[in-house]
Chains A and B, each alone.
Chain A
Amino acid sequence: MAPLNGQIRSTAALLCGVTLLGVAWLLSPPSSPPLYDGLILGDEPYRYLNPPAGYRTTPPPSSARLILTVRHGGVPSFTVSTSETPPQAQLTGPAGALRAPVHVNTVTVTLTPVLAPAPAPAGDRVDGNTYRFQALAAGIPVGVAPAVSLIVALRGTGASGQPTLALFDGHAWSLRPTVQTGTPDDYAATIAATGDIALVLPLNVSAHSNPPGPSPAVDVEVVGLFAGLLAALLVLLRIGRRPEGG
């Protein structure tokens, strides 16, 4: 009976494991890492709509589209992101940020990479792709509600310098106060209108990536602390080992 019990236990454990895996995959966000250990794969290279000469081959930049259901005449809060890792463009709006026309049920928000519609502001150049932010209801453009700001975040190409986010409203570029988000090449700003958005850099800044700076010094004392702790635990393990034949 014992081997049979063992087989039943093993089969039950495998079934339980595979069921848990299925549930976990359903519950986990799509960006969950496909591997569970080892070295994390780094960010993918920037995807240009119009790559500079000699740039590596990448898939084309993605677009993003989100359909918002209008409830009680208002558009809910939303976040729309392109699908790169990390996203190259992301837009977040609070509830009521878009002016939905009466009698529409849905508003479609899109972020689409486009060629820069006009030369960058004087003295600047566009860094990376320009993204067209549009909101449409039944094919009719929807505007941003008065006194409401949307947060837009764009990934930079890694060029040196501090990019500024610019909005092209169909007539001219306007520079927006820009902050760097938690990640090194992501920059965010608020906008209050639909239009084309891009990061711009001063023309005199090189297009090359930031040279890697000196690595932050490893804290030798803390390394020593952990190494000492580990050594002590190793000794404890050796001492506590079951006596041979015991």
Chain B
Amino acid sequence: MTVSTWASKSATVQSAVLVGGAAAALGLRLVIGGAAAGVSPAAALVFAAAFIALAIADGWRPGDIRLRQLAVGTLGGAVLCIPPTITRLAGHGIGAGPWRDYPTWALVVAAVAVAEEVLLRGALYDRLAAGAGNLLAIGIGAILFAALHVPLYGGHAVILDLAVGVWLGALRLATGGVAAPAAAHTVADWAAWWLR
């Protein structure tokens, strides 16, 4: 078997294993969290740890994080915040949660957001892009991203999550690293505390 054939087959198999691993991690989160899976910090942290472990087992390592990537990611997160900001400014929404709960919530949320980006826009993206190109890497990452959130948010969030997945994938492509989508994802999550 030539090196290129091996690499192509390996990329497909490893991608499939990563997707299976993501599903197993989600299953673990749902079982540990039970009916409160969406709000259980313990379940969320196990989920995040599983995602990071999958990425590391696949050989993913963090590259150099450049300031530009973080800046682009922060701007990307700001884009995600536009609609809820408009809704909030229009007087809708339920208001920020209590300050005292924010630090813990923000830490857990950041862990999950970064872990998801490391797996989806890091390890899986690299595998898929190497084997089938960037477009497919963005698309499959977005589909998996949306699918992972159905048990937590319900089916009505699929369209939005698909679009967000494409946006985060585009940030990955544009900046060449995970830092930008991870920053965007985290910024959007953190802002949600005030924008709900």
Contact = CB atoms under 8 A, between A and B. Distances in A.
Interface in A119-154: none
A210 to B, nearest CB: 15
Given A17-B169, A40-B38, A216-B34, A236 B17 contact: yes
Contact of A237 (B38, B57, B94, B164): B57
A190 B163 CA distance: 40
Interface in B1-41: 3, 6-7, 10, 13-14, 17-18, 20-21, 24-25, 27-28, 31-32, 34-35, 38-41
Contacts of A17: 163, 166-171
B161 to A, nearest CB: 6
User: In the complex, which range does the number of interface residues on chain A fall in?
Assistant: 35 or more
Interface stretch (A23-31, A63-71, A101-109): A23-31
Contacts, number: 187
A185 to B, nearest CB: 14
B14 A240 contact: yes
A188 B20 CA distance: 41
Contacts of B153: 33, 40
Interface string A158-187: 000000000000000000000000000000
Interface stretch (A73-81, A110-118, A201-209, A220-228): A220-228
Instruction: Indicate the member of A28, A29, A34, A40 with the most B CB atoms within 10 Å.
Output: A34
A37 B109 contact: yes
A16 B54 contact: no
A238 B189 CA distance: 32
A10 B159 contact: no
Interface in B175-196: 185, 188-189, 191-193, 195-196
Nearest to A35: B192
Contacts of A238: 57
Nearest to A235: B57
Contact of B149 (A13, A36, A230): A36
A27 B159 contact: yes
Contacts of B13: 240
Interface residues of B, number: 76
A37 B164 CA distance: 11
Interface string A1-25: 0000000011101101110110111
Given A25-B83, A25-B160, A28-B157, A230 B196 contact: no
B10 to A, nearest CB: 6
A219 B31 CA distance: 7
A237 B185 contact: no
B54 A237 contact: yes
B105 A39 contact: yes
B174 A233 contact: no
A83 B161 CA distance: 23
A30 B87 contact: yes
For the complex of A and B, the 5 pairs showing the least CB-CB separation, nearest first, are A38-B109, A35-B192, A24-B163, A34-B84, A17-B167
Interface of A: 9-11, 13-14, 16-18, 20-21, 23-25, 27-42, 44, 58-59, 83-85, 215-216, 218-219, 222-223, 226-227, 229-230, 233-238, 240-242, 246
Given A21-B79, A35-B192, A38-B110, 6 more contacts: A9-B173, A10-B170, A33-B157, A33-B192, A39-B108, A41-B193
23 contacts: A11-B174, A14-B170, A14-B174, A16-B166, A20-B162, A21-B79, A28-B156, A33-B157, A37-B189, A39-B41, A39-B44, A39-B109, A40-B152, A85-B94, A230-B25, A230-B50, A233-B20, A234-B53, A237-B17, A240-B14, A241-B57, A242-B7, A246-B7
